[in-house]
Amino acid sequence: MRPILLTRLFPTLLLVGCGEFGLGETLEAGGAALVAVAPGGQLRFAEASPSGRSQALEVTIASDGDVAAYVAAVWVESENGGIFYTNDELPFPKLMEPGEAIPITVRFMPAAPGTFHGTLLVESGTEGALLERQLLGEACGDDDGDGRC
């Protein structure tokens, strides 16, 4: 099972067993809804060429609790704006039903060689809790401009 990052929607937490989306551990507040992001850990993109096509990773935003979970927004931030980006038409804000999962695509499109860092952010709950997933992309020096490393 891959670990995934969770946030709480209520202040009291209880650690329980596995959830529907392959969670190693689940944070739950008396049956309250959870928002999960999979896969877990840092999201690493395949090496990309600045003159080539973008590299894409699919990420799933899921409601993994017993009640509906509110997702306010999903976006990316990076020190080099525009290197990482998501789908243009994300369906958020959204009240997600228990067990509902929405795939989104995160892309890496470097403009120059180097190592790039960013963050995927998911704002959930009425208190604006943030789930964060670190992004890492590497771009090669494409000397001949053929789009390959």
Beta strands in 2-113, from DSSP E residues, in sequence order: 5-7, 14-16, 26-28, 35-38, 43-44, 55-63, 69-78, 84-86, 94-96, 101-108
Could you identify the residue written with the tokens 């208190």? Answer: 127
Give the range among 58-62, 82-86, 141-145 with minimum mean pLDDT: 141-145
Instruction: Copy the structure tokens of residue 30.
Output: 């008396």
Distance CA 8, CA 22 (A): 18
Q: What is the pLDDT of residues 8-55, one digit of tens each?
A: 333 222 222 333 443 322 333 444 558 889 998 999 999 988 877 889
| 0.75 surpassed by pTM | no
At the topology level, CATH places domain 5-139 in Immunoglobulin-like (2.60.40)
pLDDT value of position 105: 95
Angle at 44 between CA 98 and CA 105, to 5 degrees: 45
Domain boundaries defined on the chain: 5-139
pLDDT value of position 89: 85
